[in-house]
Chain A
């Protein structure tokens, strides 16, 4: 799949933003006043910024409001509804915390559930696609959810919890890679079933339908060199999980240094998740490539 920057930015930042909102909704940390304002500003910048980035890949962003209507069948529509619900509920909860110094517990818990639910709906947009065997697995929502929760813990400053959650997310990423080695080859779909000619002999794409490129080839047949894939996996894993964990468990002396290192851990984690998300798209193979002999 073509790794579109808008979608990578969206899933990376929104995942972190909703992860942070979930922790704030659960009162971890239980903040009020100016401190709360800063926390919520960061969470909303990430969540809303990501959502805005996602509209850049639309052909008609001005019609995006229509996407709230089809929640009965469409995960993309459900994502839109869940995101707006989470943002509205958490805004009310945040207003209470910032301006009234109150903690509306029920509202916060509801907002936390909706925030995590939004990340789940995002994951299901990809998970539902039978046409992309690598994504069509329960591991996909586990990756999205564990990343968002770990990133949220990191941003929320949960010093004792975050290293464990980062380790868990890293482990799930490793399992995702291990279990989805050659998903298209193992899916039972090949050029033989695509053309219906497979039981007559070995099928080979002889001539493409056209000499130039087209939308399908640009969108679905992105091919990533295997050598680069391995390097990027190592880089992404180190940045997203290994280095932030190290920065959090190494005892630094002094509050200032500790805060600096936590900030650095957040930045490294964001860069790492963006790298891993890029791989999530770039490594995914769409079955339509079979028709073009590209698989």
Chain B
């Protein structure tokens, strides 16, 4: 892997390769987490180690993690009790245009590529000081405890240009594996690319824009939740009790038993 040996950020990159993550479609299955760990443990760079994986306090290095958030909309006149929405939220390196993790690096190990904008770590130069992880607002970098070097998403740089793989596999492992089609990969610097058009059509957004990092990766907001109140009664008539009060002999027995001493328990 070639290294840009200065931690100055390029003024601009030829392309802006990145991910578009659809929060409306993600089902929170964590398949991308596992495929990412699998590919990046077996391929470029130091493996993603686990500590005490089968013990009482397991932890490990991951480049992609899926959070889940509950969003409770404000009550309005039209919707006095709006239903909360569960949003699954995959998070990995956003390959920022103004990446603070690159400029803070004291050794030049951390760099942003001019040709495609991918942010990478040259592991043989990394001293494991952790300052790049401190500077990242997104928690995209994790220091591997076994190797003592910083690990981060490479956008599967060893897949996307890999002529040994069938063309269909030359996309990041997380995108390839997503069963819901919630992850998209492409050039976000080209306004005509599929991913750029998707971002424009769906109102793609930046995470923590106030940090000034200018993330390349975009998130597509979830669509408004269906109004469950309107459809919940579809089966209700069929489930209504047939006889509320007993009649005939059972009705007489019910009343007679009520009159016996001992109360109506």
A interface residues, Cβ below 8 angstroms from B: 1, 57-61, 63-64, 66-70, 72-77, 80, 125, 128-132, 188-189, 191, 193-197, 200-216, 219-220, 286-288, 291-292
CA A61 – CA B129 in complex, angstroms?
Answer: 9
Cβ-based interface call for B208 (8 A): yes
Judge whether B106 and A80 touch: CB under 8 Å: yes
Let me know if B207 is at the binding interface, CB within 8 A: yes
A288 (CB) vs chain B CBs: closest residue: B139
Q: Which residue of A lies closest to B9 (CB)?
A: A73
Assembly CA distance A1 to B73 (angstroms): 32
Contacts of A195 in B (CB 8 A): 69, 87, 89, 207
Which chain B residues lie closer than 8 Å to A197 at the CB level?
23, 69, 71, 87, 221-222
Indicate whether A193 sits within 8 Å of B70 (C-beta atoms), given known contacts A67-B127, A70-B105.
no
- Chain B interface mostly helix, strand, loop or mixed? loop
A-B contact pairs, 26 of them (CB 8 A): A57-B129, A58-B127, A59-B130, A59-B144, A63-B125, A72-B6, A73-B103, A74-B7, A74-B104, A130-B137, A131-B134, A195-B69, A195-B207, A201-B82, A206-B68, A207-B67, A208-B67, A213-B59, A214-B62, A214-B142, A219-B133, A220-B134, A287-B137, A287-B208, A291-B67, A291-B91
Q: A197-B69, A201-B73, A209-B67 are in contact. Are A74 and B128 (CB under 8 A)?
A: no
Q: Which residue of chain B has its CB nearest to the CB of A81? A: B106
Given contacts A58-B127, A212-B59, A220-B139, contact A203 B107 (CB under 8 A): no
A76 and B132 alpha carbons, distance in the complex (Å): 11
- How long is the Cα–Cα vector from A196 to B22 in the complex, in angstroms? 12
Nearest chain A residue, comparing its CB with the CB of B218 = A196
Q: For residue B74, which residues in chain A have a CB less than 8 angstroms away from its CB?
A: 201-202
B221, A201: Cβ atoms closer than 8 Å: no
Residues on B with beta carbons closer than 8 Å to the beta carbon of A208: 67
> Which residues of chain A are near B212, meaning CB under 8 Å?
130
B residues less than 8 Å from A60 (CB atoms): 126-128, 148-149
CB distance from B214 to the nearest CB of A (A): 13
Judged by a CB distance under 8 angstroms, whether B61 is at the interface is: yes
Sort A-B residue pairs by CB-CB distance and give the 7 closest, nearest first: A59-B128, A59-B148, A209-B65, A201-B73, A67-B106, A77-B106, A288-B139
Contacting pair B7 A73 (CB below 8 A): yes
Q: Which residue from A63, A70, A188, A213 sits with its C-beta under 8 Å from B7?
A: A70
Q: Which residues of the other chain, A, contact B91 by a CB distance below 8 angstroms?
A: 209, 291
Q: Is the CB of B62 within 8 A of A201?
A: no
Task: Tell me if B136 is interfacial: C-beta within 8 Å of chain A.
Answer: yes
Residues of B in contact with A, size category = 35 or more
Interface centre among A68, A202, A288 (most CB of B within 10 A): A288
- With A66-B108, A72-B6, A72-B8 as given contacts, are A214 and B67 in contact (CB-CB < 8 Å)? no
Q: Is the CB of A69 within 8 A of B108?
A: yes
Give chain A nearest CB distance to B69 CB in angstroms: 5
Supposing A60-B127, A203-B70 touch, asked if A131 and B108 sit within 8 A by C-beta, the answer is no
Contacts of B104 in A (CB 8 A): 73-76, 128
When distances are taken between beta carbons in the complex, the residues of chain A under 8 Å from B86 are 206
- Asked if A61 and B127 make an inter-chain contact with CB atoms under 8 angstroms apart, the answer reads yes
Which of B59, B85, B105 is the one whose CB lies under 8 Å from A214? B59
Q: Which of A59, A131, A191, A291 contacts B135 (CB 8 A)?
A: A131
Contacts of B6 in A (CB 8 A): 70, 72-73
Q: What residues of chain B have their CB less than 8 Å away from a CB belonging to chain A? A: 5-8, 23, 30, 33, 57-62, 65-74, 82, 84-87, 89, 91, 100, 102-109, 125-131, 133-139, 142-145, 147-150, 205-212, 219, 221-222
Q: Are A57 and B8 in contact, with the CB atoms below 8 A?
A: no
| Residues of A contacting B205 in the complex (Cβ-Cβ under 8 angstroms) | 196
* Docked CA distance A129–B134 (Å): 7
| A209–B69 touching, CB < 8 Å | no
A196-B207 contact, Cβ under 8 Å, with A66-B108, A287-B137: yes
Is there contact, CB below 8 Å, between A216 and B139?
A: yes
In angstroms, Cα B134 to Cα A128, docked, is: 11
Q: Given A59-B129, A209-B62, A288-B137, list of 7 further CB < 8 A pairs?
A: A60-B149, A66-B106, A69-B108, A70-B7, A214-B59, A215-B133, A219-B133
Cβ of B30: which chain A residues have Cβ within 8 Å of it? 209
Across the interface, name the chain A residue whose C-beta is closest to B209: A193
- The smallest beta-carbon distance between B16 and chain A, in angstroms, is 19
Query: Known interface pairs A70-B107, A125-B131. Does A188 touch B139 (Cβ–Cβ under 8 Å)?
Result: no
Q: Is the CB of B139 within 8 A of A291?
A: yes
Q: Give Cα distance in the complex from A57 to B219, angstroms.
A: 35
Closest Cβ of chain A to B10, distance in Å, is 12
Given known pairs A58-B127, A206-B86, the reply for A212 and B105 (CB within 8 Å) is: no
Most buried by A among B134, B149, B206: B134
A205 touches B69 (CB 8 A): yes
- Inter-chain contacts of B5 with A (CB < 8 A): 69
